[in-house]
Amino acid sequence: MARILELREISFAVADFDAAYRKFGAMGFDMTPVWEEPTPPVQAKLTSMPVPNSSISIMSALGDDTPIAKFLDRRGEGIFSFTFVVDDIDAITAKWQAAGVKFVLDKPIEIYDQYSAGVPIPVIRGNWTRPKTLHGIVIELQEFRTKDGKPFHPQGDPVIAEKGAQR
């Protein structure tokens, strides 16, 4: 039976990425290298701040017609989504759809060589719930895989950017 393995991340949408990056850094958070993910529906500039077994991320929109830009226009800055790691994204998606939850994508996106909670992941399969079908909440489901399609279980310490890393 497919299951949720962990709460992996809480993501905040911000209007000014650089200001948020400086503020969280001044608060003492270590951050992964900043990256941009231009692939729809993500279309964001991101960094993660690992905390034990999870992370907080900040993200800003890469364009005016992106999910984060629309969120900021409607709601302002704040919690954008919660991310759960699952062992079988297809089975969880089917179960949630049977309960009336709709997803942004017809099938999970695959993002290669990115970070999750500060740990490099070869392949992240992911999809997002449509907030109108889940009481205004966006939940991102992620399943970790190796590049040859096998389940991937991260181990080791988070990779943290050195102070003053490129943004």
Bridge partners, 111 (sequence order): 124
CATH of the domain at 59: 3.10.180.10
Q: Cβ of 125: how many Cβ atoms within 10 Å?
A: 19
pLDDT, residue 165, reads: 41
For residue 119, tell me if it sits in a domain. Answer: yes
Q: What is the pTM of this model?
A: 0.85
* Over residues 141-161, mean pLDDT: 83
For tokens 């709460």, name the residue: 7
pLDDT, tens digit, for every residue of 60-81?
A: 999 999 999 999 999 999 999 9
pLDDT, tens digit, for every residue of 13-29?
A: 999 999 999 999 999 99
Domain that holds residue 49: 4-145
For residue 150, tell me if it sits in a domain. Answer: no
For residue 154, tell me if it sits in a domain. Answer: no
For residue 153, tell me if it sits in a domain. Answer: no
For residue 23, tell me if it sits in a domain. Answer: yes
3-state secondary structure (DSSP) of residue 39: coil
Structure tokens at 53: 């077994």
pLDDT, residue 115, reads: 81
Could you give the CA distance from residue 156 to residue 118 in angstroms, rounded to a whole number? 10
For residue 61, tell me if it sits in a domain. Answer: yes
Q: What is the domain count for the chain?
A: 1
Q: What distance lies between CA 133 and its chain's CA centroid?
A: 19
For residue 157, tell me if it sits in a domain. Answer: no
Decide if pLDDT at 164 tops 50: no
For residue 156, tell me if it sits in a domain. Answer: no
